[in-house]
């Protein structure tokens, strides 16, 4: 595991030097600032607006890092064949992939903690134990969501071109959040084929719609414990599946 952690630390340092990291930070900071200013215009809805926009800023920041890193990080290494320098040493392809994945996850964790601290101060949840717990669970759901998208985009980048992998990651994210609406429309239409397709999608697409907690309502009322347990199990399962697929594809890929 020491080789994996060394690769992860190297990847983290490389990502911190990338322009995309600072672009994401600036966009998130602007969105949080806008939410604070918009909330100031309506004192009655101040916390609601700040929570909605703030969590959305954290989600966009984490997804931005995950999508671009997943789609281009390994593909760039393969295209320039810089990965050969690492693989020529006693490092397996599986260790190489895990090092890259953990490096980006470390960056996402750092970003989530940074933005989470800023947002928590603006929302004033530090003195509210119930809200602080809910705030942590919401941020954790965004982190898990971005982790699954990262693993999927990284696998897709080994199968198709990076721009298509990026697009596929966006489609997976949207489809995962639309599954609830699709199930509702399927039940209303009563079309057997449509119902069957939607049921099938629930098994082959991460059910991201069940993690729609980024709102003032869940911040105030809290997230049910059983839903948190389901989230951890469901998202961890999908993350492992996509990482295994990435390892399998990278082992079979000719990079010489």
- How confident is the model over 84-94, as pLDDT tens digits? 777 777 888 88
Residue spans per domain, the chain: 2-252
CA 106 to centroid of chain Cα atoms: 12
Contacts of the segment 234-240: beta carbons below 8 A, 24+ positions apart: 234/206, 234/207, 234/210, 235/144, 235/145, 235/147, 235/148, 235/206, 235/211, 236/144, 238/148, 238/151, 238/206, 239/144, 239/147, 239/148, 239/151
Q: Is the pLDDT of residue 204 over 60?
A: yes
Dist CA 229 CA 186 (whole Å): 28
Identify the band that residue 2 occupies on the pLDDT scale cut at 50, 70 and 90: confident
CA end-to-end distance (rounded Å), the chain: 26
Residue bearing the bigger pLDDT, 233 or 23: 233
pLDDT value at 44 more than 70: no
Residue percentage of the chain with pLDDT more than 90: 40
Nearest to 251 by CA among 95, 94, 102: 94
> Given this model, what pLDDT does residue 48 score?
81
């Amino acid at each position: 595991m020491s080789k994996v952690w060394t690769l992860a630390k190297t990847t983290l340092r490389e990502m911190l030097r990338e322009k995309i990291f600072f672009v994401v930070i600036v966009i998130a900071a602007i969105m949080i600032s806008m939410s604070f200013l918009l909330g100031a215009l309506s004192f009655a809805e101040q916390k609601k607006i700040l929570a909605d926009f703030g969590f959305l800023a954290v989600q966009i920041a984490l997804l931005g890092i995950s999508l671009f890193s997943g789609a281009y990080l390994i593909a760039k290494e393969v295209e320039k064949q810089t990965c050969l320098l690492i693989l020529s040493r006693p490092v397996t392809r599986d260790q190489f992939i895990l090092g890259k994945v953990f490096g980006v996850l470390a960056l996402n964790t750092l970003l989530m903690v940074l933005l989470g601290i800023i947002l928590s101060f603006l929302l004033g949840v530090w003195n509210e134990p119930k809200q602080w717990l809910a705030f942590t669970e919401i941020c954790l759901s965004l982190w898990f969501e971005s982790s699954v998208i990262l693993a999927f985009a990284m696998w897709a980048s080994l199968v198709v071109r990076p721009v298509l992998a990026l697009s596929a990651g966006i489609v997976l994210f949207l489809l995962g959040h639309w599954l609830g609406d699709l199930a509702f429309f399927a039940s209303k239409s009563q079309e057997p084929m449509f119902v069957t397709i939607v049921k099938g999608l629930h098994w082959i697409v991460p059910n991201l719609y069940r993690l729609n907690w980024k709102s003032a309502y869940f911040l105030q009322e809290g997230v049910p414990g059983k839903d948190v347990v389901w989230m951890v199990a469901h998202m961890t399962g999908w993350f492992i599946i996509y990482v295994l697929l990435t390892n399998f594809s990278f082992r079979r890929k000719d990079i010489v």
